[in-house]
């Protein structure tokens, strides 16, 4: 049983005496508080008063038959607690938490869209993941909805007003735009060249993966969930299989944990090198882009040697990993990593000394530490603003508890800091992989698990290259999961872009945006 | 922190790269071979198959259909649906599905992308 | 009769229009190949030996595509701006002495340096009009950026161009070329270096690449163009680059002068001109590859706060040191 939650639970038990709440330590693998729809906000207030680093990780909506469950997954500096509330299906109204934590806005909109829960007092209600012409009253994630009853309304033909009577012009960036790799729409209101307001519209890549996972077996779901994102595919697979293993209460062999760590860190390496190159492209620095991507190629070859494919690794399974590393491959891996490590000082010097790069990246897109905490951002975006959260240290999983590494933070909070965080993390990843290869325990790399998972639910968090990735899986005793909830890091980080872009020029939008490392396939699922 | 210099190191590096061999290869005139264990096109050994149908049931992409060949049920691989995860190879109790390193599968007609189960003729030695 | 035929040959074929066209494509190939090699990749390699036919292939491909004219655009300006910009630039090139005398013979007159710079400004203005006439917010932002940039940088460019004119004692291009027994790049190096940097900005290359910033304004003033008009817009940009390099060669590097080995001076002149031009193209491409793209406000600030004072200083320096430089001219 995790001991970190005990402190927070004791605080809550004192503060919430007399309220209709039920505190359960050990539930869901960490701790849970069952509260009524009226009392859950008091629990949140108590947690906020106790710890300033309290933030919303995700809000899960789940169809429980007569009721709809609204679960708030809250992380604090050393605990992870779920507040479980329920609302009746005929009248699904619940109070919003955006007045306490503005970062919860997107999460509430998604639950409203997909399950029909009305959050009273939400600052900007509207559609988030479903298109505008989706018929009213049909909520995809409810169990009683049928695909045949969905008939889309004809798309609206009203043109968006591109400028008002004054001097403000609305420029629509996306859905198709050279700066964005994947389609999302940002309507930017500008005055000359200064940005006044940003209105986002996401959901263009929504494929309904959470609903699709309910009609596939757990084994097939591993491959489905891997394809939520091409770049951080191993992290999705790892998070899912870890959650299922928590429900099954199995422990993977020690060697499998080290192998998983190596694959996850290789994933992080190639993702960070991709972002660093992409940022160079956005500021017009094509040379840096080509150099970074040239140095990323040997890492892709390494991933091919270890897992059998360059991008989608498909090497995690419930109970371990699917294949082992051969001893003859280890010297090859080490040579490539040593070569990459030798190239890093050159890139660090460019970031320190190149005047045009510094002019484009420093003091651009600044996010202060208070804003980072209020908006509940994760990953290098948070670490670039001085907030040191890293799931690998806060709640060690796989072999991270045994491998020494540093959590990198910078304090300036601008684009330059975030890119530097990623570059330093590249070096840390190389250290982690080398340590894991040197200290790999012998033994099996896989255990057999039953195909039918007993009833239960679990939560799990993994540090993807872009930040904290959260999974919640509920099983009902059959071979098919009841609910799979995914909260990806970019989903939590996009609201910070709405804050940092205001007041700067349009020309700063591409580097600012790329420094978040947006992955829209992850965001929309 | 890195060293602070007067001129950025890019000045020298760019000139150095001018005289080096390019990092890109002249594919398709110069071929590259993938690493060992690469998950390419499936190689199906019909003599080992026992018609259990586990490959078809476990396939995440519904890319394997069981068809009748000589009175027995055999898997037919639809490569345009396949995601090359090789769950079929893992589920097969007799190891009848193996990987090859063939990855150039693009074609202009769909029938090239269907791997029909063939009887390997003993006399003609599997041409 | 023979004179007329020779005139037509000179203007249309060599060193006239056809030569300029193919030489522009050759310079485009040199640029792309050098940029690629500096970035450790191949560059054009498959069309023709070593990819030398790639620019021609791109041009022909664009000519075969469908041309779409937006219904809200100003149609006349939209249709004619690309081809007019291209023609004005080729016309301006005809005043530069490729082989010792201007391409259209006997057209040089006193002060044609200013005339040539004015023609380049007209061509840039036509590019601005091409963006302004398309009814698209991205094009209008790109066009505004083109205007801001070239208007701003024209002033230091002219001031720096005065330095060789001052040393040669005349504003006629052919006089400036013929009075360079020692290239002015050696005699007035400060003006030479500043002129190359200002020409980077004038030609809209990194770090002053703002009008072509894809990630912000899609394609700038070229957004709504397609087919043949886009082909000519791109060709106009390439001709502008060759023109800029040719201007540097004429003003600072001695034009077509160079050691002549076995007689046939006309041929040697063009060869030396071409070699010097390619050297300038390579240096300019090196500067492009080195830097990131600056923001428009940083570009404008760099102009008014740095380049303009420096060009005034360079003029003052040239004039004060003229007494010692004159004997070497």
Range of the domain at B100: 49-105
Q: Which two tokens stand for residue A149?
A: 């009853």
Burial of C296 (0-12, 13-18, 19+ CB in 10 A): buried
> Which residues, numbered 392 to 451 in chain A, qualify as contacts with chain B under a Cβ-Cβ cut-off of 8 Å?
none
On the question of pLDDT at B83 being above 50, the answer is: yes
* Residue B121, pLDDT above cutoff 50: no
Q: Quickly state the pLDDT bin for A81 (edges 50, 70, 90).
A: confident
**Strands A55-63 and A456-464, how do they pair?**
unpaired
Q: What's the rounded Cα separation, in Å, for the pair C226 and C231?
A: 8
**Chain B closest-CA separation from residue A166 CA (Å):** 45
pLDDT at res. A1: 44
Residue B127: what pLDDT?
41
Paired with A191 in beta bridges are: A168, A194
pLDDT of A18: 66
* B54 is a domain residue: yes
CB-side neighbour CA atoms (13 Å) of C235:
29
- What pLDDT was estimated at residue A259? 92
- Please state, in angstroms and as integers, the Cα–Cα distance from residue B95 to each residue in A316, B71, B119, C60, following that order: 20, 22, 17, 55
ipTM exceeding the 0.85 mark: yes
Residue C279 burial by Cβ neighbours in a 10 Å radius (0-12, 13-18, 19+) = middle
Supply φ then ψ for residue A87, to 5 degrees.
Answer: -130, 145
Residue B30 within a domain: no
SS3 per-residue string spanning A95-112: ECCCCCCHHHHHHHHHHH
Task: Could you list the beta-strand ranges (E) of B1-127.
Answer: 42-44, 64-69, 72-78, 97-99, 114-115
Mean pLDDT of A170-174: 76
Q: How many domains does chain B have?
A: 1
Instruction: Please give the average per-residue pLDDT across B55-83, as a whole number.
Output: 87
**For chain C, what is the mean pLDDT?**
83
CB contact at 8 A, A127 and A113:
yes
Are residues B43 and B97 in contact, defined by beta-carbon separation less than 8 angstroms? yes
Q: What backbone phi and psi angles, to 5 degrees, belong to A467?
A: 140, -160
Residue with tokens 């693009």: B106
0.80 exceeded by pTM: yes
User: What pLDDT, on a 0 to 100 scale, did the predictor assign at position A29?
Assistant: 66
The range of the structural domain enclosing residue C34 comes to 2-328
Beta-carbon separation of C37 and B23 below 8 A = no
Q: How confident is the model at residue A2 (pLDDT cuts 50, 70, 90)?
A: low
Supply angle C-alpha A367, A80, A17, rounded to 5. Answer: 110
Report the candidate in C126, C303, C146 with the shortest Cα–Cα distance to residue C219: C146
| Per-residue confidence (pLDDT) for residue A260, from 0 to 100 | 92
Q: Which residues of B touch C (CB under 8 A)?
A: 8, 10-11, 14-15, 17-18, 20, 22-24, 26
Q: Does any domain span residue B61? A: yes
Chain C partners within 8 Å of A179 (Cβ): 214-216
Could you tell me which residue, C184 or C56, shows the higher pLDDT? C56
Question: Taking residues A1-23, what's their average pLDDT?
Answer: 68
Whether the CB-CB separation of C270 and C99 falls below 8 Å is answered with yes
Residues of B whose CB is below 8 A from C40: 17, 20, 22-23
Overall average pLDDT of the A436-448 stretch: 88
pLDDT confidence band for A266 (50 / 70 / 90): very high
Dist. CA C177–CA C164, nearest whole Å: 10
Give me the phi and psi of A379, to 5 degrees please: 75, -155
Domains of chain A plus CATH, in order, are 4-142 (3.30.460.80), 209-524 (1.10.645.10)
B10, B15, B24 member nearest C41 (Cβ):
B24
pLDDT of C261 higher than 70: no
Predicted pLDDT at C213: 66
Q: Which residues from B are below 8 Å from C42, CB to CB? A: 22, 24, 26
pLDDT value for B126: 41
| Domain presence at residue B40 | no
Closest CA relative to residue A126, chosen from A181, A67, A50, A199: A199
Confidence of residue A337 (pLDDT cuts 50, 70, 90): very high
Q: How many domains does chain C have?
A: 1
Q: How much is the pLDDT for B119?
A: 59
Query: How many angstroms separate the CA of residue C250 from the nearest CA in chain A?
Result: 31
With CB atoms and an 8 Å threshold, state whether B87 touches A219. yes
Q: Helix, strand or coil for residue C189?
A: helix
Q: Taking 50 as the threshold, does the pLDDT of residue C198 lie above it?
A: yes
- Rounded CA separation A317/A451 (Å): 12
Mean pLDDT of C206-217: 71
Which residue in A246, A225, A308, A238 sits closest to A268, CA to CA? A238
B56 min Cα distance to partner chain C (Å): 44
Average pLDDT over residues C43-56: 87
- The mean predicted confidence, pLDDT, of chain A is 84
Q: Which range scores top for mean pLDDT: A47-51, A87-91, A262-266?
A: A262-266
pLDDT range class, residue B122, cuts 50, 70, 90? very low
Q: Is the pLDDT confidence value at C56 over 60? A: yes
Per-residue pLDDT of A125-170, as tens digits, reads 888 888 888 888 788 888 888 777 777 777 776 666 555 556 677 7
Dihedral of alpha carbons C241, C246, C247, C253, sign: positive
**C42 in contact with B at a CB cutoff of 8 Å?**
yes
Domain harbouring B97, CATH code: 3.30.70.3270
């Amino acid at each position: 049983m995790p001991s970190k939650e005990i402190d927070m639970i004791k605080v809550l038990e004192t503060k919430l005496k007399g309220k209709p709440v039920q505190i359960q330590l050990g539930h869901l693998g960490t701790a849970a508080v069952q509260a009524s729809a009226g009392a859950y906000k008091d629990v949140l207030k108590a947690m906020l008063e106790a710890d300033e680093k309290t933030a919303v990780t995700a809000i899960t909506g789940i169809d429980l038959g007569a009721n709809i469950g609204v679960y708030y997954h809250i992380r604090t500096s050393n605990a992870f607690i779920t507040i479980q509330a329920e609302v009746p299906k005929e009248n699904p109204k619940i109070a919003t938490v955006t007045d306490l934590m503005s970062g919860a806005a997107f999460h509430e909109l998604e639950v409203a869209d997909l399950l029909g829960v009305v959050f009273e007092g939400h600052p900007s209600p509207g559609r988030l993941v479903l298109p505008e012409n989706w018929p009213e009253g049909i909520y995809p994630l409810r169990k009683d909805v049928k695909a045949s009853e969905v008939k889309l309304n004809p798309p609206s033909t009203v043109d968006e007003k591109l400028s008002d009577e004054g001097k403000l012009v609305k420029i629509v960036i996306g859905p198709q735009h050279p700066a964005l790799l994947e389609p999302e729409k940002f309507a930017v209101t500008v005055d000359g060249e200064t940005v006044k307001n940003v209105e986002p519209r996401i959901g263009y890549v929504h494929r309904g993966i959470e609903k699709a996972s309910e009609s596939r077996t757990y084994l097939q779901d591993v491959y489905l969930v891997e394809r939520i994102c091409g770049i951080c595919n191993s992290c999705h697979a790892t998070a899912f299989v870890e959650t299922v293993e928590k429900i099954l209460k199995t422990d993977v062999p020690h060697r499998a944990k080290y192998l998983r760590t190596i694959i996850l860190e290789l994933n992080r390496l190639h993702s960070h090198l991709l972002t660093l190159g992409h940022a160079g492209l956005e500021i017009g620095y094509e040379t840096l882009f080509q150099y970074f991507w040239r140095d990323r190629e040997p890492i892709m070859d390494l991933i091919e040697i270890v897992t059998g494919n360059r991008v989608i690794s498909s090497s995690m399974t419930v109970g371990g990993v699917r294949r082992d590393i051969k001893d003859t491959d280890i010297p090859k891996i080490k040579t490539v990593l040593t070569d990459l490590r030798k190239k890093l000082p050159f890139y660090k010097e460019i970031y320190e000394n190149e005047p045009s790069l510094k002019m484009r990246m420093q003091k651009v897109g600044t996010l202060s530490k208070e804003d980072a905490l209020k908006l509940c951002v994760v990953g290098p975006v948070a670490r670039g603003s001085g907030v040191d959260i890293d799931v690998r240290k806060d709640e060690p999983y796989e072999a991270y508890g045994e491998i020494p590494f540093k959590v990198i933070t910078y304090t300036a909070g601008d684009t330059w800091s975030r890119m530097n965080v990623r570059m330093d993390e590249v070096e840390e990843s190389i250290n982690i992989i080398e340590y894991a290869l040197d200290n790999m325990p012998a033994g099996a790399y896989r255990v057999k698990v039953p195909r039918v998972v007993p009833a239960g639910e679990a939560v799990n968090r993994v540090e993807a290259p872009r930040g904290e990735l959260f999974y919640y899986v509920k099983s009902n005793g059959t071979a098919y999961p009841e609910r799979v909830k995914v909260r990806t890091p970019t989903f939590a980080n996009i609201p910070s872009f709405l804050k940092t872009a205001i007041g700067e020029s349009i020309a700063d939008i591409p580097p600012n945006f790329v420094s978040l490392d947006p992955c829209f396939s992850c965001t929309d699922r | 922190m890195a060293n602070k210099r007067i001129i950025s190191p890019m000045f020298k590096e760019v000139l150095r790269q001018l005289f080096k061999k390019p990092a890109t290869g002249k594919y398709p005139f110069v071929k590259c071979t993938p690493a060992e264990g690469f998950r390419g096109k499936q190689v199906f050994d019909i003599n080992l198959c026992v018609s259990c149908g586990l490959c078809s049931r476990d396939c995440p992409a519904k890319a394997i259909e069981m068809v009748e060949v000589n009175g027995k049920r055999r898997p037919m691989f639809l490569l345009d649906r396949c995601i090359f995860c090789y769950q079929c190879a893992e589920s097969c109790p007799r190891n009848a599905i193996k990987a090859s390193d063939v990855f150039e599968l693009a074609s202009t007609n769909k029938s090239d992308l269907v791997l029909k189960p063939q009887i390997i003729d003993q006399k003609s030695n599997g041409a | 009769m023979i004179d007329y035929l020779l005139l037509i040959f000179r203007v249309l074929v060599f060193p006239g229009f056809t030569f300029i066209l193919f030489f522009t494509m050759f310079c485009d190939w040199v640029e792309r190949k050098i940029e690629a090699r500096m970035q450790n990749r191949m560059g054009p390699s498959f069309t023709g030996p070593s990819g030398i036919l790639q620019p021609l292939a791109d041009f022909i491909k664009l000519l075969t595509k469908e041309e779409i004219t937006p219904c809200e655009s100003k149609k006349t300006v939209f249709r004619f701006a690309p081809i007019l910009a291209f023609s004005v630039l080729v016309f301006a090139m005809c005043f530069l002495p490729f082989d010792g005398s201007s391409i259209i013979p006997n057209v040089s007159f006193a002060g044609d340096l200013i005339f040539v710079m004015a023609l380049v400004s007209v061509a840039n203005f036509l590019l601005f009009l091409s963006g302004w006439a398309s009814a698209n917010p991205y094009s209008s932002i790109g066009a505004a950026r083109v205007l801001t940039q070239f208007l701003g940088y024209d002033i230091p460019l002219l001031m720096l161009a005065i330095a060789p004119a001052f040393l040669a004692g005349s504003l006629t291009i052919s006089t400036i070329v013929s009075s360079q027994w020692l290239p002015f790049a050696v005699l007035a190096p400060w003006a030479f270096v500043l002129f190359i940097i200002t020409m980077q900005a004038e030609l809209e290359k990194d770090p002053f690449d703002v009008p072509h910033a894809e990630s912000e304004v899609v394609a700038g003033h070229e957004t709504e163009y397609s087919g043949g008009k886009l082909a000519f817009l791109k060709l106009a940009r390439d001709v502008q680059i060759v023109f800029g390099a040719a201007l540097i060669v004429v003003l600072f590097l001695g034009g077509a002068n160079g050691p002549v080995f076995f007689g046939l001076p006309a041929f040697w002149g063009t060869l030396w001109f071409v070699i010097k031009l390619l050297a300038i193209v390579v240096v300019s491409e090196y500067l492009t590859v080195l830097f990131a793209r600056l923001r428009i406000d940083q570009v404008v600030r760099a102009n008014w706060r740095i380049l303009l004072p420096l060009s005034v200083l360079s003029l003052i320096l040239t004039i004060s040191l003229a007494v010692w430089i004159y004997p070497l001219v």
